């Protein structure tokens, strides 16, 4: 018999936003599968690799530039309307993409409209989840963001199959309808905790109560004055660039390595699995091992694995294995940096502080695709792009070795 029905209701209420965030993110995450559409578009219109790759750049630039706007509006109106708007824009962007006949329209629909949908839809699940589960930020953020990564792994191969059967235009239309349903249900389930919410206490293996360590809430205007913020921002931007470069060029890179269309499309699933597990497992690990040690470890691994992916690109087993590792390292950063923002600067201003830090991810999303596509066009190979990504990872690691966690606030009555 439950001695505390109110506590049981509070516990159940915490899980609804996680389900809603999962539905929203699995739809939004399919934007990672953009490269599966690239060959069909280039065949039909004669567009170049740089032209089609610019869609991913516009997506990330728009996504990054709308994070802060979404965060400010979410602080005022709540997560649900922001998520609704994001889902509608994302689905409408896919639908309108199915009617394009020019590059400008492609950039407006698949780039700008989808990017706005991503910017508004992505922020709500991770900030709401962190507020409901402040003691398990890494795990909860890893779950929400991991599902985002899984979207491309689930729907990427489906898109590849549908393109071959019904064409790329009809594929966009089918996905627009499916994802509108997903995002609307998901947004409905998102709700911030009530004022004064206290999460259920956790108990250790010995039965002792384990309470969440209090954190000082730091306003966004104050965060901008902290040297630690800039060290983290540039570490995030440089460390994530390797992942965004590979993601934006994955299918063309796999095809240029000698693999057929099916093998190249399956690489999306391999990468999505790695990214999803990185977000989830490393998020959980960071709850126990610490955010900074976890980040330092995966950046070091990324620095080694990214150039090796190019070196062993023609060996299918090594190609998939190294691709998995590169994506794992990339995915880790998205969940752990988000949890770290809550640890360092508190929950009260989390939406805007996370939005500010996620601008680094947006910068990486711009730099990665440009680096990959332009180097390929100018040299005919991805070699220097992959080696350059390792240099970026090394610079990110240096920054992370300088950063130190803020001192915990003094205990009450001290």
What is d(CA 84, CA 73) in angstroms, rounded to the nearest whole number?
13
What per-residue confidence (pLDDT) applies to 171? 94
- pLDDT score for 246: 79
> In 3D, which of 402, 45, 1 has the Cα closest to residue 227?
402
Q: Which CATH architecture has domain 13-192+216-402?
A: Up-down Bundle (1.20)
Question: Following CA atoms 276, 278, 280, 283 in sequence, which dihedral angle do they give, to the nearest 10 degrees?
Answer: -150
Angle at 190 between CA 351 and CA 203, to 5 degrees: 80
Is the sign of the CA dihedral 289, 293, 294, 298 positive or negative? negative
The pLDDT assigned to 172 comes to 94
pTM of the predicted model over 0.85: no
CA nearest neighbour of 35 among 369, 374, 305: 369
Q: What pLDDT, on the 0 to 100 scale, is given for residue 410?
A: 55
Task: Give the count of beta carbons closer than 10 Å to the beta carbon of residue 317.
Answer: 8
What phi, psi does 350 have (nearest 5°)? -60, -40
| Per-residue pLDDT reduced to its tens digit, 215-243 | 678 888 899 999 999 999 999 999 998 78
Looking at residue 408, its pLDDT comes to 62
Low-confidence ranges of the chain (pLDDT < 70): 1-13, 135, 149, 195-215, 407-414
Residue 89: predicted pLDDT: 96
Antiparallel, parallel or unpaired: β 202-203 and 209-210: antiparallel
Alpha helices in 257-349 (DSSP H): 261-289, 291-311, 316-345
Summarize pLDDT for 41-68 with one digit per residue, the tens: 999 999 987 788 789 878 878 887 887 7
SS (H, E, C) 13-53: HHHHHHHHHHHHHHHHHHHHHHHHCHHHHHHHHCCCHHHHH
Domains in the chain: boundaries: 13-192+216-402
């Amino acid at each position: 018999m439950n001695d505390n029905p109110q506590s049981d209701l509070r516990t159940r209420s915490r899980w609804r936003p996680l389900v809603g965030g999962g539905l929203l993110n699995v739809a939004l995450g399919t934007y990672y599968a953009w490269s599966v559409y690239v060959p069909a578009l280039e065949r039909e219109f004669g567009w170049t690799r740089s032209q089609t790759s610019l869609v991913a750049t516009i997506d990330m630039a728009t996504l990054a530039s709308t994070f802060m706007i979404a965060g400010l509006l979410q602080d005022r109106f709540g997560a649900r309307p922001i998520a609704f708007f994001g889902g509608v824009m994302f689905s409408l962007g896919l639908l309108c993409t199915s009617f394009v006949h020019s590059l400008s329209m492609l950039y407006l629909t698949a780039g700008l409209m989808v990017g706005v949908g991503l910017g508004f839809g992505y922020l709500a699940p991770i900030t709401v989840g962190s507020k409901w589960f402040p003691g398990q930020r890494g795990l909860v953020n890893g779950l929400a963001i991991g599902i985002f990564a899984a979207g491309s792994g689930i729907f990427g191969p489906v898109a590849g199959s549908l393109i071959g059967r019904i064409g790329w235009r009809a594929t966009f239309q089918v996905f627009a309808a499916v994802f509108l349903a997903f995002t609307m249900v998901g947004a409905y389930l998102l709700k911030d905790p009530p004022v004064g919410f206290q999460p259920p206490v956790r108990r250790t293996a010995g039965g002792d109560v384990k309470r969440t360590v209090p954190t000082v809430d730091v306003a966004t205007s104050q965060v901008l004055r902290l040297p630690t913020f800039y060290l983290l921002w540039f570490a995030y931007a440089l460390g994530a660039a390797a992942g965004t470069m590979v993601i934006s060029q994955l299918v063309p890179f796999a095809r240029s390595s000698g693999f057929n269309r099916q093998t190249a499309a399956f690489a999306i699933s391999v990468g999505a699995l790695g990214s999803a597990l990185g977000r989830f497992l490393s998020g959980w690990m960071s709850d126990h091992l610490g955010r900074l040690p976890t980040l330092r470890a995966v950046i070091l691994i990324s620095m080694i694995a990214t150039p090796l992916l190019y070196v062993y690109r023609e060996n299918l087993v090594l190609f998939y294995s190294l691709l998995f590792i590169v994506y794992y390292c990339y995915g880790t950063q998205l969940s752990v940096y988000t949890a770290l923002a809550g640890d360092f600067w508190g929950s009260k201003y989390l939406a805007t502080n996370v939005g500010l830090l996620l601008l680094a991810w947006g910068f990486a999303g711009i730099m990665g695709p440009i680096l990959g596509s332009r180097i390929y066009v100018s040299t005919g190979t991805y070699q220097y792009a992959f080696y350059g990504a390792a240099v970026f990872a090394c610079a990110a690691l240096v920054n992370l070795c300088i950063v130190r966690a803020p001192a915990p606030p003094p205990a009450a009555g001290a």
